[in-house]
C-alpha cells in the first residue's frame, strides 16, 4: 500500500496558517491531494495528532540528514548546538506560520504531555547529533538545559523579522553564553 502521508502533509502545510492543525484542515488536505477519506484514515488513524507527530518526525529526520557528524566534528560543542538549532529553524522557515500555530496549540493545558514528548525527542536528537555520549546524571541536565535554550530561541524566531534571522542567531548566541557562564560559576562555587 502506498504511503500517502507525505502527499497529505504537503497539501496540509499551506492550509495550517489559516485553519490550524485541525481535523477539518486534514480533510481539506486530503481532498486537495485527490484522496478519499479511507486513505486519509489509513495514513493517519489517530487524526490530527498523528499528522503533527509525523510532521515532527520528518523534521527530525531532515535535521539528522542536514547535520552529519562529519560536518559538526570540527566545531566545539556550543558551536555544534548552535548550528543544529539554526539548521532546524532554517528548514522550518517556509512553514513558520504552521509552526506558530502548532506552538500556540501545544501551549494549551491538555496538550502539554504531547508537547513535552516531541520537545524531548528533538533535544535528545540534537544532543546525539552533537556527539553527546553521556550516560550519567548530566544526560538529563543537558537535555533540560537544551530544551530551555531551544524553546526560548524558537519562540524568539517566530517573531524575528530581521534579515536572514540575524536577531535569532544573536539571541541564541546569548543563550548559549548564559549556559556557559552558569557552568563556569557552578564549577567555581563547587571548587
State mean pLDDT over 158-165.
92
Instruction: Identify the weakest region by mean pLDDT among 73-87, 113-127, 155-169, 177-191.
Output: 177-191
Tens-place pLDDT, residues 142-161: 999 999 999 999 999 999 99
Tens-place pLDDT, residues 40-75: 989 999 999 999 999 999 999 999 999 988 888 889
Report pLDDT for 96.
96
If we measure between CA atoms, which residue out of 64, 54, 66 comes closest to residue 21? 54
Q: pLDDT averaged over the chain?
A: 90
Residue 21 has pLDDT above 70, yes or no: yes
Q: Pick the residue with more confidence: 89 or 185? A: 89
**C-alpha span between 165 and 188 (Å, rounded):** 35
Q: For residues 63 and 88, is the Cβ–Cβ distance under 8 A? A: yes
Report pLDDT for 137.
83
pTM: 0.89
* Alpha carbon separation from 49 to 28, 52, 63, 81 (Å, rounded): 16, 5, 21, 28
Share of the chain above pLDDT 90, in %: 66
Report pLDDT for 127.
94
Amino acid at each position: 500500500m502506498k504511503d500517502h502521508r507525505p502527499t497529505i502533509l504537503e497539501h496540509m502545510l499551506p492550509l495550517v496558517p489559516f485553519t490550524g492543525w485541525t481535523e477539518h484542515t486534514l480533510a481539506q488536505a486530503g481532498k486537495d491531494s485527490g484522496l478519499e477519506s479511507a486513505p486519509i484514515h489509513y495514513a493517519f488513524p489517530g487524526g490530527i495528532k498523528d499528522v503533527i507527530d509525523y510532521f515532527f518526525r520528518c523534521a527530525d529526520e531532515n535535521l539528522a540528514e542536514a547535520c552529519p557528524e562529519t560536518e559538526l566534528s570540527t566545531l566545539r560543542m556550543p558551536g555544534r548546538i548552535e548550528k543544529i538549532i539554526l539548521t532546524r529553524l532554517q528548514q522550518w522557515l517556509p512553514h513558520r506560520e504552521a509552526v506558530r500555530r502548532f506552538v500556540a496549540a501545544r501551549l494549551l493545558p491538555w496538550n502539554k504531555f504531547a508537547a513535552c514528548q516531541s520537545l524531548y525527542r528533538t533535544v535528545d536528537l540534537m544532543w546525539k547529533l552533537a556527539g553527546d555520549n553521556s550516560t550519567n546524571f548530566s544526560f538529563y541536565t543537558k537535555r533540560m538545559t537544551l530544551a530551555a535554550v531551544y524553546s526560548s530561541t524558537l519562540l524568539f524566531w517566530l517573531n524575528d523579522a530581521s534579515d536572514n534571522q540575524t536577531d535569532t542567531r544573536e539571541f541564541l548566541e546569548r543563550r548559549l553564553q548564559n549556559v556557559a557562564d552558569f557552568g563556569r560559576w557552578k564549577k567555581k562555587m563547587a571548587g
